[in-house]
Structure 1
Amino acid sequence: MLPTDVSERADSPALLDSSELLDSSERTVLPLLSIRGLSKVYGSATVVDDIHLSIPHGTIHALLGENGAGKSTLIRMLAGVIPADAGHIEVDGVRRRVRTIKDAQKLGIVALPQELTLVPTLSAPENIFLGQKQPGSFGLVSRRGLEQDAAVQLARLGQRIPLRVPVGELSAVQQTMVALARALARDARLLILDEPTAALTASETEQLFAVLHSLRATGTSIIYVSHRLDEVFRLADTVTVLRNGSRVWTKPVGETHTDDVVAAMIGRAQNDVFPARATLVGTGAAGIVSTGAESSNPGLPSAGLPRAGLSDSAILRVDALCGHRLQGVSLTASAGRILGIAGLAGSGRSELLRLIAGDERMRGGTILLDGKPLAGGSVTRAMASGISLVPEERRRQGLVMTASIRSNIALANLTALSRFGIASRQRERVMAERGVAQLQITAASLSQTVDELSGGNQQKVVLAKYLERKPRVLLLDEPTRGIDVGTKAEIYAVIRRLADAGVAVIVVSSEIPELLGLADEIAVLREGRLSAVLPAADADEATILHHCYRKAD
């Protein structure tokens, strides 16, 4: 029998009797969770509007939608983080009240946020049983008993993780497994996973998927939130799409496909996500870059270069570049072109960008900017020369999460904002307003802290900060990771307009379809070496993967 203290009316015998009358066979017929008209209003804005949804036992249900579609608000209501303003949930057919996280956990509903709430200085057993009764006597915790209990929970996931190592020293997938073990220790029947693979490698993702399939087989249900549609179609049984706070539709995975999902999420076809690729009109050095349409946002910072002849204008060359992983890579980045970098984890993709940006010291080779050698190992020199790197980890490396939008945009531009060493508040405000307008950042005000923004808007703030420097070479490391399809389309358009303005753009992405749709050329790295450079228009995913796995020349 479910706990009576979280039922809609604890004094209602009808509700309690119905719960007691449900035997195991009836519970498997009824959905584990039924969402009945859940709604949430903030001020005059309805962010979740009358959602109805059922989650059967032992299923994986994908919840999809753009940032701002209402996914986070819905799962926060289910997990007891915030109360609903209307509607209710039913567990095993019984109406239940969820007003706190404790209420949800007593019902077996446990959410794992994208930023795992683990204590990095504590061990896996200490994290798994944090806040719960722990083995021991006379007020002392039995370390041996704690480790034995933790090993049992981890064994349910097929995991053997070091039990005396602080979780902050574990790999990303091991930390995810610790968080899952903690949920199971709380008797989780419904797991809510928010972007669980955002920080995982391809092999770690496969490991996680195997565990999720195992949990599903034992009757645990999972709500899976992800922007990676390929994962959804491999993993989920059912898909629900939200848009503007409302449910668009729910379908079995076998009855839909990517184009349907994208159209439902953003209200337009997937073919419209990528901007037109630059093409050459004419031949030779006098060729003119054309995208088939002029920029719709002339306010974007320009590199100050003419549009004619940009296709053959090499701004940046790296020759026999070597680093910790990278071995003898030679590439060219040209004005008006987008160079995509593909490769498996550990191939040296991100290291290439860090070496060019001066964030790591070269162990060999040369970097030429406008044909002149650029001394590596100095971010300051690289930025002064017109090279800007938008890092992979925007929350840790690109933003001060507790600072305002205004302060974050100003952070990389203090010299331009200052006179006699004093920053002008008026210039700072004007710069921030320009960035918000140009990147179409959705925010309450310039004073809003970036940790209150969606992932897509956070990435736009990072871009705004670096675009104010008017870079000649823009390095982008996973620029759309964890971002919804609609916001991806906006960022793709910004990247293409920058290239049209004469910026040489280099993009690292683990999503091959993204590189195929966005880049002009794709360089493939394998084990630190250059495996191939291909025209994106003539390549396909199979070809890219072939070069990712083949032995580099």
Structure 2
Amino acid sequence: MLKLTGISKGFTGVQALSSIDFDVRAGEIHALVGENGAGKSTTIKIIAGAYKPDSGQIEFDGRPVHWVRPADAKAAGIHVIYQEFVLFPHLTVAENIFLGHERRGAFGMIDHARTRKDAADLLHKLGVDIDPDKLVSELTVADQQMVEISKALVHKVKLLILDEPTAVISGREAELLFARLAALKAEGVAIVYVSHRLEEIFQIADRVTVFKDGQHVVTTDIGKVDRHRLISHMVGRDLRDVFPAKRQSGAPGKVVLKAENVSVEGRVRNAGIELRAGEITALAGMVGSGRTELAMGIFGGLPISSGSITIDGEQLAGITPATAIGKGIGFVTEDRKGQGLAMQLDVAANISAANLSEVTSGGLLDRSREHAIARQEIDNYRIACRGPGTPVALMSGGNQQKVIVARWARTSRKVLILDEPTRGVDVGAKTEIYRIMRGLADSGIAILMISSELPEVVGMADKVVVMREGAISGELSGPAITEEAIMSLATQHPVREAAA
């Protein structure tokens, strides 16, 4: 269906693609993977007509093509669903689906009844039950994604490209998406699937292509490569180098935080957890099991309806984020753009945000002091940017995440909570974040990590606490930490006692 041959593309001072080859067959899901900067986004934009290649040949549906603008590629049957949806929240589902291709009746007037019916037919084809008259702003993220796919089906879609489609959904919503993609594949649609989540690649892809530094590394059937080899292709080093060495066995660190019988109304019930200095504790379980809610209760972001939290021997009946920060607890949210970063500010302002007293004097901000701190943290955490004044909006996901970690590491003297710390970042950035986490733990900080990636949990955690349906279902440590054991605890009925 699509064949790229010898495609190169350069920008000022940067060679984004160097004579890459890439092809997609009708009726297949072809995964495109690689670290940030590997050339995936540039390739997508060339396929979609947003960029013109400097050299090379594009063939689509059996003939050479030269897109002048994105509309040409879309008219030919190519549709891209980006991580950030292109939807108008205050228009209805039907209006969004047919925007620019409105159903019209007599005298060119929009035929609203036909628009609603055709939208309902498209949604039914995808197997989803969404009211065409509902405002997009009222939809879940998963349903918004189905609206995006429906927009592709307005035309005869031949090639569907999805860029990090599960960055904003997970669990059952992701499984429903995979089912829709399988149905489109069965109809002969060619699908390019871009994701950092390797478990998804092995679950749904037929073939996988790896790019690195703007060059094609390998294309292979998914059954002919394993996770170990795929990561080696992506990062140029052995999988065993991805996770740093775990804490050496010996006397456990002191308990710095203890939550007892903590309940969060309707979300968590009677949960208990201990965090020890120098130890990485993973909070695992299925999406919706109450992991984030328990962590937010500990930090004070959600009110606890019962139970107590003890920090360094001092029992607190209630806690707020301000109290938690004052006690040396930090929280890296899973939503770095919506809740973690001030996207319109620079690196320096984002790093200092949790402790403004450090960079103010007499109520005035000392920008030179703020920049000096930022330069130190840029070096400490190997943050790739032009300097303290770089807007975080212009940075990659992995470097944005390092900025947040740098912020909280300055204030987290006792406990650092990281909710999905590597979501949406590439393997190379993940390795850096893992190194940072282990370094913080080795310095004596207790780390609480929430993660949906089982290899990450197994590779990083000294101890794993598993939740199911709002309750603790078990605890694992040492050699007992395996993917099978975690899944067993995550899917069985909750129990009060911790499993050794």
Partner of residue 154, structure 1: 123
Whether the 8 Å CA contact 1:340–1:521 is kept in 2: the answer is: yes
**Pairwise CA distance, 1:196:** 0.7
Partner of residue 295, structure 1: none
Structure 1 residues 49 and 531, CA gap change in structure 2 (3 angstroms): same
The answer to whether structure 1 residue 124 and structure 2 residue 65 are counterparts is no
Partner of residue 351, structure 1: 293
The answer to whether structure 1 residue 370 and structure 2 residue 302 are counterparts is no
Amino acid at match of 2:423: R
Partner of residue 435, structure 1: 377
**Pairwise CA distance, 1:182:** 0.4
The answer to whether structure 1 residue 258 and structure 2 residue 227 are counterparts is yes
> 1:409, 1:472 → 2: CA distance?
18
**Pairwise CA distance, 1:468:** 2.2
Pairing of 1:500-519 with structure 2 (within 5 A): 500-519=442-461
The answer to whether structure 1 residue 83 and structure 2 residue 52 are counterparts is yes
The answer to whether structure 1 residue 315 and structure 2 residue 256 are counterparts is yes
> 2:401, 2:68 → 1: CA distance?
32
2:30 aligned counterpart, secondary structure: strand
The answer to whether structure 1 residue 552 and structure 2 residue 494 are counterparts is yes
> 2:321, 2:453 → 1: CA distance?
27
> 2:308, 2:405 → 1: CA distance?
27
Pairing of 1:95-244 with structure 2 (within 5 A): 95-244=64-213
Amino acid at match of 1:447: G
Moved more, 85-94 or 116-125: 85-94
The answer to whether structure 1 residue 522 and structure 2 residue 467 are counterparts is no
Partner of residue 33, structure 2: 64
Partner of residue 16, structure 2: 47
Partner of residue 280, structure 2: 338
The answer to whether structure 1 residue 494 and structure 2 residue 436 are counterparts is yes
Partner of residue 498, structure 2: none
Amino acid at match of 2:78: I
1:327 aligned counterpart, secondary structure: strand
Amino acid at match of 2:89: P
Partner of residue 33, structure 1: 2
Whether the 8 Å CA contact 1:402–1:451 is kept in 2: the answer is: yes
2:6 aligned counterpart, secondary structure: strand
Deviation per CA, 1:385-435, whole angstroms, max 9, x where unpaired? 111100011110101222222222222221110001111111111111112
2:399 aligned counterpart, secondary structure: helix
**Pairwise CA distance, 1:230:** 1.2
**From 468, 477, 482, the counterpart of 1:540:** 482
Partner of residue 11, structure 1: none
The answer to whether structure 1 residue 420 and structure 2 residue 389 are counterparts is no
Larger Rg computed on CA atoms: 1
Amino acid at match of 2:363: G
The answer to whether structure 1 residue 329 and structure 2 residue 298 are counterparts is no
Deviation per CA, 1:227-254, whole angstroms, max 9, x where unpaired? 1111111111111001111010111112
**Given the two structures, how large is their TM-score scaled by the length of structure 1?**
0.87
Whether the 8 Å CA contact 1:124–1:166 is kept in 2: the answer is: yes
Pairing of 1:382-461 with structure 2 (within 5 A): 382-461=324-403
Structure 1 residues 136 and 406, CA gap change in structure 2 (3 angstroms): farther
Partner of residue 17, structure 1: none
Partner of residue 462, structure 1: 404
> 2:465, 2:332 → 1: CA distance?
19
Over the aligned positions, Cα root-mean-square deviation in angstroms equals 1.4
**Pairwise CA distance, 1:536:** 4.3
> 2:112, 2:478 → 1: CA distance?
56
Whether the 8 Å CA contact 1:405–1:461 is kept in 2: the answer is: yes
Structure 1 residues 495 and 109, CA gap change in structure 2 (3 angstroms): same
% identity of equivalent residues: 40
**Pairwise CA distance, 1:377:** 4.6
1:328 aligned counterpart, secondary structure: strand
Structure 1 runs of 4+ aligned residues shifted over 6 Å read none
Gaps of 5+ in 2: 496-500
> 1:537, 1:275 → 2: CA distance?
16
Structure 1 residues 148 and 377, CA gap change in structure 2 (3 angstroms): farther
Gaps of 5+ in 1: 1-31, 282-286, 288-310
Whether the 8 Å CA contact 2:260–2:308 is kept in 1: the answer is: yes
> 2:106, 2:334 → 1: CA distance?
47
2:411 aligned counterpart, secondary structure: coil
Moved more, 363-372 or 85-94: 85-94
**Given the two structures, how large is their TM-score scaled by the length of structure 2?**
0.96
Whether the 8 Å CA contact 2:329–2:411 is kept in 1: the answer is: no
> 2:305, 2:93 → 1: CA distance?
38
Structure 1 residues 527 and 150, CA gap change in structure 2 (3 angstroms): same
Whether the 8 Å CA contact 2:126–2:180 is kept in 1: the answer is: yes
Partner of residue 307, structure 1: none
> 2:155, 2:386 → 1: CA distance?
38
Q: How many residues align?
A: 494
Amino acid at match of 2:231: V
**Pairwise CA distance, 1:320:** 0.5
2:244 aligned counterpart, secondary structure: coil
Whether the 8 Å CA contact 1:520–1:537 is kept in 2: the answer is: no
